[in-house]
Structure 1
Amino acid sequence: MLLAAASAAVATVPTPAFAADVRLPSRRGASTRRLVLPEPTGPHHIGTVSLHLVDRSRPDPWVPAESVRELMAQVWYPAREARRLPLAPWVSPAFGALINPPGSGYELPLTHARTGAPALPGHRPVVLYSPGFGMERTAGTAVVEELASHGYIVVTIDHTHDSPLVEFPDGRVATSAVPPPTGEPGEEERLIAKALAARVADTRFVLNRLSRPQRALPGGVWHAMDLRRTGMIGHSLGGATAAQTMLEDRRVTAGANLDGAMSGSVLTAGLDRPFLLVGSEGHDRAGDDTWAAFWSVLRGPRLELQLRRSGHLSFTDYQVLLPQAGIPPEDLADAFGTIDGPRSVQVQRAYLLAFADRHLGGRRGTLLSGPSAAYPEMRFLP
């Protein structure tokens, strides 16, 4: 059912598995219930479109027989009102069938974004998003939609064969090709290094492609991207990907890691641009040597926060969706902590938006200056 792999997934050292093992419980005989994502709070309507991108300069790192690296990315952006266009589904049909088998009694969420809506005019900062190891680009949709509703263009990336399932426009499905553990010494470190290198290369390729017009983008979207103001957010291994990408590509000017262990050469080289660390309850640099090492070599603005009563998977949409499916709180506590899911989303949205506003949007604000009575769940660490 749900938590077959949760004991692995809650670790801050990234491990594949969780999303592929999520199954919604059956409600057979009951009326169908649709799960819902929190509504974004910004003033803008949202559009979204998926991009199929092919990197012909390298083979797939997980399946070398595939001579090119194929990726799916998704662009979320402030849009003109377009009620005639359909709301985009939360996940692709194949991934939806994986986690919500037919006849379960549930319908997966629709997003708040209209598929292919024309963009609002203007030049807008860009935020890249990388999910956790073994997770999919849609895992942080609640935060992604919030940023888009406040004027950012967000590009989420599926890391093929690292994600449990990636569906391409022609119906082909790429499943995880991460090798099963054998227990060999150093195996986990080598696996993480391989995944990190693949993810950084994926991200830089996506950024390269965004730097030139894309025919698949709806009217006005490409012209609205201000790639001179590009940031990156990642959860778990996606957070390490954000930091390592910043080291290797100066086009990324600010980054945030949501509860992921750090790895890569950035641990010794450091960064001279803004970086945010957000940990779950009990995860901080006092207990994570990788965070301590990374913190010591940061030369730009830096901030460490901790979300009280949260768990490693509190930084995903599952924190609000699984309780709607009737999963008992005690079955979720190891992976998600005890924080209320919608409140967790609200707090994360506020601080990630404030970080983007300060370092990409040119709006200072005061939320990042110290603890806030409005958000007592967020702890500032010295």
Structure 2
Amino acid sequence: MPGLAPAHTPALTRRSLLSAAVLTAGLGVVTRAPAAAARPRSAAEGYTLPMPTGREKLGTIALHLVDRSRTDPWVPGRPVREIMVQIWYPARHVHGHPVAPWLSPGAVPHFSEVYGLPAARVRATATHGRAGAPVHGGRPVVLYSPGLGGDRGTSTVLAEDLVSHGYIVVTIDHTHDASEVEFPDGRIEVAAIPADIDDQIVAQAVAVREADTRFVLDQLAVVNAGGNPDAGKRRLPIGLRGAFDLHRIGMFGHSLGGSTAAATMHHDRRIKAGVNLDGTLVGAGAVAGSDRPFLLLSSDHGTDPEDPTWDAFWANQRGWKRELSLTGSVHGSFNDGQVLYPQAAPEIGLTPELLAELVGTLRPQRSVTIQRDYLRAFFDQHLRGRRSRLMCGVDPRYPEIRLVR
């Protein structure tokens, strides 16, 4: 997942997409070190995700979507493009509905091998959502695209908080780009992007992701009209019909997901507002901008020069725009790796220095709070018309945020 890191890859630098480190956008880079003494965890004890801060109860459902107009771009011979999405929504009630896992069980072994987190812990990690709970609808919609190599659950801590404040969030697995995707029949599809990644491959990945996103928007309209686009026609939650306010759609993404948000927004007017979390902008569409609001939030890059793709986007962006930087953060600070790796550090042998390389020096809970508050303030202002002081400039309550421009 972007920000979680494969155990066999070098550390990510700020917004690095065109190096061999690109696949670490998933969750971060784990370099083995002597394990420190720690309180033993039960094999059944999962990692803890921060509680959402809003009042809404959370429901969730996975959909298996098949785009028969496209062949699979990464696996020759696959006649259709298959993806999984997760819909997170405010629930009317959650009684009698099981807690949804952070990662689908069949995907855990491969994920753990890639990202260095113990399988038993990952398998036991729960979200705050309840599978199949009835929907409390009529809400604005926010799409999420992970970094290259990332699964749809990469930013659950951000998605859940938006939902708790009244949004519907749809997270996307870009199959064969994601580290692993489990389909309802138990099939596990792993990343198939060529290992010798270059500019052309990354540009292709953005184009594929954009096509995935626009297809997902089409399928949300089907659901909203009362249809069921799930390939297996599995039962949808009560109240999902008409739940999406498709006139108020936003999108955010981390790393290559941020570039995906910018490119999709440029080409598809259905997306009214977008956020890029520390991602280099790849391709003409991503830097072209739009006439709708867009927020750039970067990691702490000190005195390094600006990413030239951000300069190009800034010059072209015609709608509302803002660029902020989060002090004490690194590229891996913008997804769930920032809360998982600190919990796992003693048992997987991460020294404080290695942990800082992975998730930065800003305390994870504080980093999560800031990102949640700014993300919600942005979408509240531009999808709900609720003006926020956080979007006006520097706020003394958040000294870690630097206004770049």
Return the TM-score normalized by structure 1: 0.92
Local SS of the residue matching 1:207: helix
**1:147 correspondence with 2:141:** no
Q: Distance in 2 between matches of 1:282 and 1:290?
A: 15
CA-atom RMSD in angstroms: 2.5
Hey, what does 1:345 align to over in structure 2? 368
State the one-letter code of the partner of 2:257.
G
Measured in 2, the distance between the counterparts of 1:322 and 1:39 equals 17
Q: CA deviation at 1:223?
A: 1.0
Specify every segment of 5 or more residues in structure 2 that has no aligned partner in the other structure, as ranges.
229-234
Instruction: Provide closer, same or farther for how the CA distance between residues 31 and 212 of structure 1 changes in structure 2, counting only shifts above 3 A.
Output: closer
CA distance in 2, matches of 1:43, 1:53: 31
Q: 2:127 is matched with which residue: 111, 127, 138?
A: 111
Matched, 1:93 2:109: no
Contact 1:30–1:105 (8 Å) recurs in 2 = no
Aligned counterparts of 1:72 and 1:368: Cα–Cα separation in 2: 33
Between 1 and 2, higher relative CO (CA 8 Å, sep ≥ 6) is seen in: 2
Q: Distance in 1 between matches of 2:273 and 2:159?
A: 16
1:273 maps to: 292
CA distance in 1, matches of 2:167, 2:27: 30
- Residue 354 (structure 1) shift: 0.2
Instruction: Write the mapping of 1:317-328 to structure 2, written as runs, cut at 5 A.
Output: 317-325=336-344, 326=346, 327-328=350-351
- The yes-or-no answer on 1:365 pairing with 2:388 is yes
Q: Does 1:381 align with 2:404?
A: yes
Moved more, 342-351 or 27-36: 27-36
Q: Please give the alpha-carbon distance, in whole angstroms, between the structure 2 residues aligned to 1:127 and 1:277.
A: 16
**Any idea what SS the aligned residue of 2:154 has?**
helix
Is 1:278–1:304's contact at 8 Å kept on the other side of the alignment? yes
Post-superposition offset of 1:163: 0.4
1:78 aligns with 2:90: yes
For residue 345 of structure 1, what is the amino acid of its counterpart?
Answer: V
Residue aligned with 1:270, SS: coil
Q: Partner of 2:72 in structure 1?
A: 60
Match in the other structure for 1:201 = 211
Contact 1:52 1:169 in 2 (8 A): yes
Corresponding position of 1:311: 330
For residues 186-217 of structure 1, give each alpha carbon's deviation from its aligned partner in whole angstroms, at most 9, with x where no partner exists.
Answer: x6210111100000000000000111124343
| Conserved 8 A contact 2:295-2:322 | yes
Counterpart for residue 56 of structure 2: 44
User: 1:12 and 2:15 equivalent?
Assistant: yes
**Kept after mapping to 2: 8 A contact 1:79/1:120:** yes
Q: How does 1:130-169 map to 2 (within 5 A)?
A: 130-169=145-184
Q: 1:94 to 1:284 in 2, by over 3 A?
A: farther
Do the aligned residues in 2 keep the contact of 1:329 with 1:338 (CA within 8 Å)? no
**Given the superposition, is the C-alpha separation of residues 129 and 283 from structure 1 closer, same or farther in structure 2, using an over 3 Å criterion?**
farther
Per the alignment, residue 310 of structure 2 pairs with 291
d(CA) in 2 for partners of 1:46, 1:171: 25
Q: Can you list the C-alpha shifts for 1:4-55, whole angstroms capped at 9, x where unaligned? A: 3553534413212454987799999753332110000001001000000000
Number of residue pairs matched by the alignment: 376
Q: 1:67 to 1:44 in 2, by over 3 A?
A: same
**Distance in 2 of aligned mates of 1:303 and 1:198:** 27
CA contact (8 A) 1:28 1:105 kept: no
Identity of aligned residues (%): 49
1:29 and 1:145 mapped to 2: Cα distance?
A: 29
Equivalent position of 1:184 in the other structure: none
Which secondary structure state, in structure 2, belongs to the residue aligned with residue 137 of structure 1?
coil
- Normalization by structure 2: what TM-score? 0.87
Contact map agreement 2:147 2:257 (CA 8 A) in 1? yes
Is the CA contact 1:254–1:274 (under 8 Å) kept in the aligned structure 2? Answer: yes
Q: Which moved more, 1:96-105 or 1:141-150?
A: 96-105
Q: CA distance change for structure 1 residues 268 and 311 in 2, over 3 Å: closer, same or farther?
A: closer
Cα distance change of structure 1 residues 305 and 232 upon mapping to structure 2, 3 Å threshold: same
Note closer, same or farther for the CA distance 1:30–1:354 as it changes in structure 2 (3 Å cut).
Answer: closer
1:9–1:17 contact (8 Å) kept in structure 2 = yes
Structure 2 counterpart of 1:333: 356
- CA pair 252-9 structure 1, distance change in 2 beyond 3 A: same
Structure 2 residue matching 1:132: 3-state secondary structure: coil
